[in-house]
Amino acid sequence: MEKEKKFVESIASMEDDFAQWYTDIVKKAELADYASVRGCMVIRPYGYAIWENIQKILDQMFKDTDHENVYMPMFIPESLLKKEADHVKGFAPEVAWVTHGGNELLAERLCVRPTSETLFCDHYAKIIQSYNDLPKLYNQWCSVVRWEKTTRPFLRSSEFLWQEGHTAHATAEESKAETLKMLNIYATFCEETLAIPVIKGQKTEKEKFAGAKDTYTIESLMHDGKALQCGTSHNFGDGFAKAFNIQYTDKTGKLAYVHQTSWGMSTRLIGAIIMVHGDESGLVLPPAVAPIQLIIVPVALHKEGVIEKATELKDMLSKVARVKMDTSDKMAGWKFSQYEMKGVPLRLEVGPKDIEKNQVVLVRRDTREKIIVPIPELESLVPEILKDIQNSLLEKARNIQNKRTFSTTTVEELKNLLDKTLGFVDAPWCGDLACEENVKEVAGASSRCMPLDQPEKKGVCLCCGKPAKAIVTWGRAY
Amino acid sequence: MEKEKKFVESIASMEDDFAQWYTDIVKKAELADYASVRGCMVIRPYGYAIWENIQKILDQMFKDTDHENVYMPMFIPESLLKKEADHVKGFAPEVAWVTHGGNELLAERLCVRPTSETLFCDHYAKIIQSYNDLPKLYNQWCSVVRWEKTTRPFLRSSEFLWQEGHTAHATAEESKAETLKMLNIYATFCEETLAIPVIKGQKTEKEKFAGAKDTYTIESLMHDGKALQCGTSHNFGDGFAKAFNIQYTDKTGKLAYVHQTSWGMSTRLIGAIIMVHGDESGLVLPPAVAPIQLIIVPVALHKEGVIEKATELKDMLSKVARVKMDTSDKMAGWKFSQYEMKGVPLRLEVGPKDIEKNQVVLVRRDTREKIIVPIPELESLVPEILKDIQNSLLEKARNIQNKRTFSTTTVEELKNLLDKTLGFVDAPWCGDLACEENVKEVAGASSRCMPLDQPEKKGVCLCCGKPAKAIVTWGRAY
């Protein structure tokens, strides 16, 4: 047990130093490693396997709603990036520029895509002619590059993996409906698959995407009380269509501009999983995305019949869960810590005494609860417990979020609330940029979103006292 | 039928102009489109769906052989690329260089990965310490960039999608075994999934990968008789390990260098599918990777009960195949041509007369054979026919390859053979670069590979008459 303790002690305490605790988990759970390129990361097998599970489930949700995958080039010519004025202003300062191909200077420099609106628009202008061609519901899985000053693995890195949906529709109503449909898919995914509760809302003018008419977001609360934007969905109206001349002939024979959307989620979600569910012993993974759902640790594995029985259990349980068995020579205690660090939802211990009694010990990662289970009940019980862990994680996170969600009517109290306990604070806002900036200055909080659910009576602005246009959820963000 | 003909006539004849025929299929089957960036392509939904099927099957083959997926950065610092001398010499002339991040000039320029050996080596040097850490069996799915002068969609483009496996082993024997294991997996995949017969062999010194000790390849023959390299598997020995100082402590406590491999296949495979199976009516897809395996075209679809019956058939057949139904207003003849162009393996026609007789008409894309099938037999017959199409395509391609495979003992005859009928020509070779270059000059043929199956007695070199070291398969290549 000495060794086990030592192993656990080697990560920082989340209460003392949350940032260091986060970095320690990324390294010790073998999720990612730093690369030779500043701000870039190597996503290691265990981290990538989580991403593959995320991709698989999300991709099926996209396909079930008639979206198709495509692949666009990773380069955008400078002239193309410049076509939509707000868009280039937002992204040009943070793109990587390719200037040479082999030994030749390029006639026009190319940026490595920070996002692909301009490429999709360029393609849509070519392939959309008539109302028969609409809607176009495309998505791509790829990596993008944003030259960030300060980086942290998964949360903010110079290169990250994501999916970006890009759609074109005949009418403004349809593009708005698509924007909200995808926001809802994102929220459902976060809650049901990642066990992360989110607030759905609209971004203010200040916080919206460069080139968007409206940006919607899902916001979640991390263990330290800071807010994290988990995904965004943008309605472009016909802004990009006008810049790129994407027109179609409608049913009456008239030319009209299409209405577009885009929406994205990224490997940042892995950072959210760490920071919402993790504890002092390391990562805690929701079963739905855990690469290993159940780890079998044979105890006293050199005793007769132990490995045989463990292998038998592995074969049986592999039918109902993602199972791995560890028969390495390391001490059982070391293994316990190791798989706790890696956040494996369930551990199965089986030794000679258990075999005698035809039972095993299951240990839940989330509650540490030990459950003695007769072997004949295992196959039906394991999926039930995994389901219960999934639900418990969501419920626990929701309770924490509820406890850390406050409301106020003044900017001073907003500051006091956040200084005391970081979290979400709801407060009315008049809609003016000056007041939003004032909140930032006085309380150090940014507007996370205007939640979709808004009360009839909104009161007066927390800064200027004028009638409020919306209740805003404020917070300190990653 | 007039319209159908017109539609088909809109692609070039493969016998008259194979290159144009290829480009026409890429465009008209909606596989890919040109992008604004020179030499880059947009992979459209139908083309990307083929790639997704390729990925799914190949990825499972990798996982079944204990390989794990990871993600490395897309950028390689110049100093890292330069660490292995042969490697940088091979790739530096064709990489894209990033020189600026935002508005700042970078201290060191970065190339966009043309392949990722150097990144994997850099990572392996950090994470491999002891024999317990070996082997490392990693793979990644990503896009790479090579600044090509002349490009063609799928066959040769500035950016393409691929997988690259990178492994590290304790011994030279293990890395050689891995190299050959992956070569065999590639060959099995090409033959069983893509219905493309391949020759497995070793590349000559001249043709091997920059930095490799040995390169193995699978080579296939296109409809025009030109050869296409479909995949390669490289054994690096300890060359990269020495350049990157990747050492481990062996069981006796001594430091030793690891032995490495890498292997890759790319979206080029889609080009191979087009050029091996396609015909004058367009694409012909092997059922294993066809996004749509069976297309239902209701005939006289406004007649009572037709759409209902077609929908019923769709629901039934969706259990055993990837099925789509086309109920658009276009003429049935147009639809027939359209799905032939897209290479859908099976077409199901159902109209009022068929419904009366409780039957449908199935039409095979490969043979054009029409089969009248009683509806109750459909569910069991469709998978059987798809299997038969898959097998027939491979058999047909194998017959063509056999007919176009010749052998000779002189370089003059090699030239005459290829001038008459393009294909593979087997001929003995002494192993000297001068003779290999002579064959290129005289016969315009490159050494495709030295097939793994070599006869005892090899005769004398086709150029110099010295004793031959190997039988080489020569050809004119893409």
Q: pLDDT of chain B along its 478 residues, tens only?
A: 344 444 445 899 999 999 999 999 999 999 999 998 888 999 999 999 999 999 999 999 999 999 999 999 999 999 999 998 888 888 988 999 999 998 899 999 999 999 999 999 999 999 999 999 999 999 999 999 999 888 999 999 999 999 999 999 999 999 999 999 999 999 999 999 999 999 999 999 999 999 999 999 999 999 999 999 999 999 999 999 999 999 999 999 999 999 999 999 999 999 999 999 999 999 999 999 999 999 999 999 899 999 999 999 999 999 999 999 999 989 999 999 999 999 999 999 999 999 999 999 999 999 999 999 999 999 999 999 999 999 999 999 999 999 999 999 999 999 999 999 999 999 999 999 999 999 999 999 999 999 999 999 999 999 999 999 999 999 999 9
The residue of chain A nearest to residue B160, with distances taken between CA atoms, is: A73
In angstroms, the separation between the Cα of residue A298 and the nearest Cα of chain B is: 20
Q: Which of B55, B75, B76, B103 to mutate to test the interface with A (most CBs of A within 10 A)?
A: B75
Q: Which residues in chain A are closer than 8 Å to B77, comparing Cβ atoms? A: 36-37
Inspect the interface and report whether the beta carbons of B36 and A77 lie closer than 8 Å.
yes
**For chain B, which domains are there?**
16-277 (3.30.930.10), 292-385 (3.40.50.800), 406-475 (3.30.110.30)
CA distance B6 to chain A (A): 21
**Which residue of B36, B45, B71 is in closest CB contact with A80?**
B36
Three-state helix/strand/coil letters over chain A: CHHHHHHHHCCCCCCCCHHHHHHHHHHHCCCEEECCCCCCEEECHHHHHHHHHHHHHHHHHHHHCCCEECECCCEEEHHHHCCCHHHHHHHHHHCEEEEEECCEEEEEEEEECCCCHHHHHHHHHHHCCEHHHCCEEEEEEEEEECCCCCCECCCECCEEEEEEEEEEECCHHHHHHHHHHHHHHHHHHHHHCCCCCCEEEECCCCCCCCCCCEEEEEEEECCCCCEEEEEEEEEEECHHHHHHCCEEECCCCCEEECEEEEEEEECHHHHHHHHHHCECCECCCCHHHCCCCEEEEECCCCCCCHHHHHHHHHHHHCCCCCEEECCCCCCHHHHHHHHHHCCCCEEEEECHHHHHHCEEEEEECCCCCEEEEEHHHHHHHHHHHHHHHHHHHHHHHHHHHHHCEEECCCHHHHHHHHHHCCCEEEEEECCCHHHHHHHHHHHCCEEEEEECCCCCCCCECCCCCCECCEEEEEECEC
- The beta-carbon neighbor of B93 closest among A96, A102, A145 is A102
B chain contacts of residue A110, beta-carbon cutoff 8 Å: 37, 96
CA angle A45, A47, A48 (to 5 degrees): 60
| Residues on chain A touching B102 (C-beta within 8 angstroms) | 92-95, 147
pLDDT value of position A259:
98
**In chain A, which residues have their Cβ closer than 8 Å to the Cβ of B94?**
101-102
- What is the per-residue pLDDT for B149? 83
With contacts defined as CB-CB under 8 Å, which chain B residues touch A92? Answer: 102
Give the distance from residue A93's alpha carbon to the nearest chain B alpha carbon, in angstroms: 4
Which residues, other chains included, contact A223 with Cβ-Cβ below 8 Å and sequence gap of 6+?
A: A14, A18, A275, A276, A278, A400
Q: Which residues of B touch A82 (CB under 8 A)?
A: none
- Cβ contact, residue pair A33, B98, below 8 Å: no
Identify which of B36, B51, B127 has the shortest CB distance to residue A122: B36
Each residue's pLDDT tens digit in chain A (478 positions)?
Answer: 344 444 445 899 999 999 999 999 999 999 999 998 888 999 999 999 999 999 999 999 999 999 999 999 999 999 999 998 888 888 988 999 999 998 899 999 999 999 999 999 999 999 999 999 999 999 999 999 999 888 999 999 999 999 999 999 999 999 999 999 999 999 999 999 999 999 999 999 999 999 999 999 999 999 999 999 999 999 999 999 999 999 999 999 999 999 999 999 999 999 999 999 999 999 999 999 999 999 999 999 899 999 999 999 999 999 999 999 999 989 999 999 999 999 999 999 999 999 999 999 999 999 999 999 999 999 999 999 999 999 999 999 999 999 999 999 999 999 999 999 999 999 999 999 999 999 999 999 999 999 999 999 999 999 999 999 999 999 999 9
Residue A1: predicted pLDDT = 36
**Quick check: helix, strand or coil at residue B189?**
helix
> Is the C-alpha dihedral spanning A160, A162, A167, A172 positive or negative?
negative
- CB contacts of A76 in chain B (<8 Å) are 36-37
Give the Cα separation of B121 and B167 in Å (integer). Answer: 10
Tell me if A36 and B122 make a contact (CB, 8 A cut-off). Answer: yes
Q: Which residues of B touch A49 (CB under 8 A)?
A: 68-69
Q: Which candidate in B52, B74, B83 is best for mutational testing of the A interface (most A CBs within 10 A)?
A: B74
ipTM value for the complex: 0.95
Report helix, strand or coil for B268: helix
Chain B residues within an 8 Å CB radius of A126: 33
Minimal-distance CA residue of chain B relative to A68:
B45
Query: Which member of B69, B147, B158 has the closest CB to residue A45?
Result: B69
Over residues B460-470, the pLDDT tens digits come to: 999 999 999 99
Verify whether the Cβ–Cβ distance B101 to A102 is below 8 Å: no
Task: Identify from B27, B76, B95, B97 which residue to disrupt to test chain A contact, counting A C-beta atoms within 10 A and taking the largest count.
Answer: B97
Tokens of A389: 């862990």
A145–B142 C-beta distance less than 8 A: no
Please give, rounded to a whole number of angstroms, the shortest distance from the CA of A430 to a CA of chain B.
35
Instruction: Test B96 with A77 for CB contact under 8 angstroms.
Output: no
